[in-house]
Amino acid sequence: KKFLIEDYDGSLMINGVPCTFLNKDNTCQIYEVRPVACREYPHTAQFGFHRRSRMNAQNTLVCPAAYEIVKRLMSIHPIKK
């Protein structure tokens, strides 16, 4: 229980950054039983992706896949000033 917290939708997610279960080589110690939030990371395929801009921006700093997805979205839908 001390390693997990409840997410906005009631699912469990890791309580800590970096993750308690992350090995030094960035592999997961609990990969086979990881929480839903970890399985769905970086959450780019979830409904409401566009409403979580802060989380998505933070993910681009640590996740190459998230960075590439946001970069492609910005090229398709440029921000208008």
Domain segments of the chain: what residues?
Answer: 1-40, 46-81
Residue 34 CB contacts under 8 Å (≥ 6 apart), including other chains: 21, 28
> What is the pTM for the complete model shown?
0.55
In 1-81, which ranges are continuous DSSP H helix? Answer: 36-40, 53-62, 64-76
20-77: pLDDT as tens digits: 888 888 888 999 998 887 888 877 777 877 777 787 888 888 788 888 988 998 898 8
